[in-house]
Amino acid sequence: MIISIRSNATKEEIEHVCERIRDFGYKVHSIQGEERVVIGAVGVGDVTACLESLEAMPQVEKAVRISAPYKFVSREFRRDRTEIVVHSPRGDLRIGGDEFITMAGPCSVESEKQIMDVAEAVSRGGARVLRGGAFKPRTSPYDFQGMELEGLKLLRKAREASGLAIITEVMSDRDVELVAEYADIIQIGARNMQNFALLKTLGGCGRPIMLKRGLSSTIKELLMSAEYIVAHGNSDVMLCERGIRTFETHTRNTCDIVAVAALKELTHLPVILDPSHATGKRSLVPSLARAAVAIGSDGLIVEVHPCPEKAFSDGAQSLDVPQFNHMMADLKPYIELWAHSRLAESVAAV
């Protein structure tokens, strides 16, 4: 069950509701939203009796039964789409709203020249967010591990020069505070989707999160991981489909494209598609990007490098700048259609 408390309720009144919930045998998990407290009640008990009792309490605005194991992120909890506000030097942008958002940039931050050049180029090409890893999860310990703090500082410089918001990955709960100082969106990579200590820490980091689907994770597991972050206090979470492991070896991963539509049915959170990691091959990126727009994804995150053959990581799947510009031009009419259907969806919802 999820119980929304009236915004004018006092601390004592909220505690009184919590006690009532506990009396019915449930565990209470309350989160303080911007406007009001929302309480999650989990466990086994007499749902009908508990709901009836809670609805009779004046400080309770709404009490609903959520059958999905993920509560706060489910569509049952919220019918409306969640729009996440991201701050950039050029002003706020909304992810999950009426604008299709493209995030672009290199896999890794490698040098000042590389990140400044690519930031300027992708900004000109229509991206709204600059990606670039400073802490890199690499399969081999001998591969480039990222520029760490130096990389974060370069991202800040590129942010100021280009006006783009920054998305960058954090791999450990130790570094969350540091990365939050530099990032407008914090990325949680596929390999950390179920790093529960990290997910809990993100609850209090004060930044929107992009949570990537784990290499072998189900849609339900992805949603449960998002639930961790929201249940710990941060409701600004977007999800990212980036391909999963299958028996296919032609592509680096197998893009579960329908996961985008499935997630849209199951959750109110925005969904982003990563055609770079999903394919591992630059030639396939534009086609998959088109599919992402068509299926109703809220945006794209795509790897772009000024000189992919010299990239320290993921060169084979990175577009160069002309290829990025070409892809963006090719996507334009599809994004116009996307915007029309968003509008129609909003009108139908009223």
Interacting residues with Mn ion (CB under 5 A): 107, 314
Counting contacts by CB under 6 A, is residue 189 touching ligand PEP?
yes
Q: Return the number of the residue (133 or 299) whose C-beta is nearest ligand PEP.
A: 133
HEC string of 202-267 equals: HCCCCCCEEEECCCCCCHHHHHHHHHHHHHCCCCCEEEEECCECCCCCCCCCECCCHHHHHHHHHE
Alpha helices in 140-218 (DSSP H): 149-162, 176-182, 196-202
> Smallest distance, Å, CB 31 to Mn ion?
32
* Cβ–Cβ under 8 Å, residues 277 and 307: no
Distance between CA atoms of residues 245 and 248, nearest Å: 8
Beta-bridge mates of residue 251:
none
CB of 139 to Mn ion, least distance (A): 11
Contact 109, 154 (CB under 8 A): yes
Q: Which of residues 112-141 bind ligand PEP (CB under 6 A)?
A: 133, 137
Give the x/- contact pattern for ligand PEP in 48-67, rule: CB under 6 A: --------------------
# of chain residues touching ligand PEP (CB under 6 A): 9
Which of 167, 190, 237, 300 is in the footprint of ligand PEP by CB under 6 A?
Answer: 190
Q: Name the residue nearer to Mn ion (CB basis): 133 or 286.
A: 133
**Which residues, numbered 290-319, are part of the site for ligand PEP (CB under 6 A)?**
none
Contacts (CB under 6 A) with ligand PEP, residues 204-263: 212, 242
Look at residue 242 and give the partner it binds from Mn ion, ligand PEP, none, a contact being a CB closer than 5 to 8 Å depending on partner kind.
Answer: ligand PEP
* CB nearer ligand PEP, residue 81 or residue 212: 212
In terms of Cα–Cα distance, which of 198, 201, 167, 172 is closest to 185? 167
Q: Of these partners, Mn ion, ligand PEP, none, which one is at the site of residue 241 (CB under 5 to 8 Å by kind)?
A: none
Q: Contact between 333 and ligand PEP (CB under 6 A)?
A: no
Neighbours of 216 (CB within 10 A): 11
**How many C-beta neighbours within 10 Å does residue 295 have?**
17
Single residue of 277, 285, 305, 308 touching ligand PEP by CB under 6 A: 277
Residues that bind ligand PEP (CB under 6 A): 107, 133, 137, 189-191, 212, 242, 277
